[in-house]
Amino acid sequence: MQTTFNSSLAQGITLTSMQAKQFKTSVLSVTMTVPLGKNNGFAAILPHVLLRGTQNHPDMLSLSRKLDTLYGARIVPLIRKAGANLAIGFIADVIDERFANGNLTNEVIDLLCELIHKPALENGFLLSEYVESEKQNLIDRIARLKSDTRSYVVRRMREIMYENEPFGLCEYGNVEEIQNINPQNLTEYLNELINTAPMQIFYCGSVNSNEIENKFKSAFSFKKSNTKPAENIILPAPTEPKYITETMPVSQGKLAIGLRTGVTATSNEYPALMLFSTILGGYTGSRLFKHVREKLSLCYYASCGIDKFTGSMTITSGIENKNAELAQKEILAQIDDMKNGNITEQELFDAKRNILDLLKSMNDSPLTLESYFQSGIMNNISLSLDKLSEQIDKICVQDVIKVGQNIKLDTVYFMKGGESV
């Protein structure tokens, strides 16, 4: 078990501390939240450049040696897209202090602070060598996005679905923007974030929450201007859905269907929406798996998920080109059937059990807890796992049918398999 402690360290700086003694490692993260927009490339490259060196540890070898003295602690860049916001910073894990001598947690906190506030500089700017190297790494990362077609089909569908909204933007920016980054403007961007961007700090480990709060207060002892994360503006589905087909050199076609629900994690209807999605395509006992995949053999896989920040529902499926139209028809037919009230008590029971088991398992990983709470905080969502579980357990079939009435088709994207290159 763990106890959660939330506090404000200063204006614009919040701390979530979870005192837990069941984990062998502690997890810490420090992130700054910016709105998705024209500076995504600057945001995405910054943590990677900062992790190249600090004033006390000016290169990666020196940083690595420092981490080795902390029983092999690990610090990695963090870039997290959530709704209309983008969180950037660092996440660290280190052996819990119950199993090691010394103040490991304090030393990791000091190092996280150093990465942000005392980066390696040359003539007052971030090192040109590091900036140029990470620019190329980021450009290469963007180029590799298409190689994982299963995730790329979702990314591409969302670009189309949210073409006039922040959520449709790539969290890594674009090549043209990245090419225009230099040590001067990236240093200016860093200073702007330090002064204005809301900062979220997370800790999960055995150290007392008051000790953690005091240490972070001393390490990050400054105020930010009164800025807040960008608000998620939920737009209705278009009158006419968008149907897009693109051909790529892949052996298997991919179908991605985007729907708008009008329900986010801040809504009282969110638990019912979770159950709707799970019954439809959230696990191996779902309708899409049993009907579209197993019974009709129209796809290799089919699944459904919701984005709690935007209220979007995404259905993905791997199919043969010849089955695209029929698979789409059967998937939408299952949604209509559920909206028409054809949901059984057994389906609800099985979906509840699946979700509750999943939520329970999230308490087994400090990294999972960090992602859940930090992404929620950056979007003004503060719903504990226990509270969410209680709400789900109270949902009835009629609640699920009711929330389904708001689900509207927005975009159907088919990645058609073509000739190999």
pLDDT of residue 226: 65
Question: pLDDT tens across 357-393, in order?
Answer: 999 999 999 999 999 999 888 877 877 899 999 999 9
- Give yes or no for a contact between 335 and 313, defined as CB atoms under 8 angstroms apart: no
Nearest residue to 408 via CA among 167, 182, 240, 218: 240
**Average pLDDT, integer, range 230-239:** 81
**Average pLDDT, integer, range 1-17:** 85
Instruction: Name all domains of the chain by residue range, CATH numbers in brackets.
Output: 2-219 (3.30.830.10), 242-417 (3.30.830.10)
Torsion of CA 195, 198, 200, 201, to 10 degrees: 20
Torsion of CA 45, 199, 98, 19, to 10 degrees: -140
pLDDT of residue 1: 57
Mention every residue, 6+ apart, whose C-beta is less than 8 A from residue 259.
237, 312, 313, 314, 315, 335, 407, 408, 409, 410
**Average pLDDT, integer, range 136-157:** 96
pTM: 0.93
pLDDT of residue 246: 96
Mention every residue, 6+ apart, whose C-beta is less than 8 A from residue 256.
153, 154, 156, 157, 314, 315, 316, 317, 411, 412, 413, 414, 415
Question: pLDDT tens across 315-338, in order?
Answer: 999 999 999 999 999 999 999 999
Question: pLDDT tens across 152-191, in order?
Answer: 999 999 999 999 999 999 999 999 999 999 999 999 999 9
pLDDT of residue 15: 94
CB neighbourhood size of 132 (10 A):
14
Q: Give the percent of the chain with pLDDT over 70.
A: 98
Helices (H), ranges, 220-342: 270-281, 287, 324-339
Distance (Å, whole) CA 180 – CA 39: 11
**Residue 320 amino acid letter:** E
Band of pLDDT at residue 221, cut at 50, 70 and 90:
low
Residue 380's Cα: distance from chain center in Å? Answer: 15
**Average pLDDT, integer, range 21-50:** 96
Instruction: Tell me: pLDDT of 421 over 60.
Output: no
Indicate the average pLDDT of the chain.
Answer: 94
Lowest mean pLDDT across 12-16, 137-141, 344-348: 12-16
- CA 346 to each of CA 146, 350, 379, 397: distance values in angstroms, whole numbers, following the listed order: 39, 6, 34, 10
pLDDT of residue 380: 78
Question: pLDDT tens across 65-87, in order?
Answer: 999 999 999 999 999 999 999 99
C-alpha dihedral sign at 322, 323, 328, 329:
positive
**Average pLDDT, integer, range 224-238:** 76
Q: How many residues does the chain have?
A: 421
Q: Give the percent of the chain with pLDDT over 90.
A: 85
Distance (Å, whole) CA 189 – CA 44: 12
**Average pLDDT, integer, range 138-156:** 96
Residue the block writes with tokens 């004033």: 55
- CA 266 to each of CA 31, 273, 282, 354: distance values in angstroms, whole numbers, following the listed order: 22, 12, 21, 22
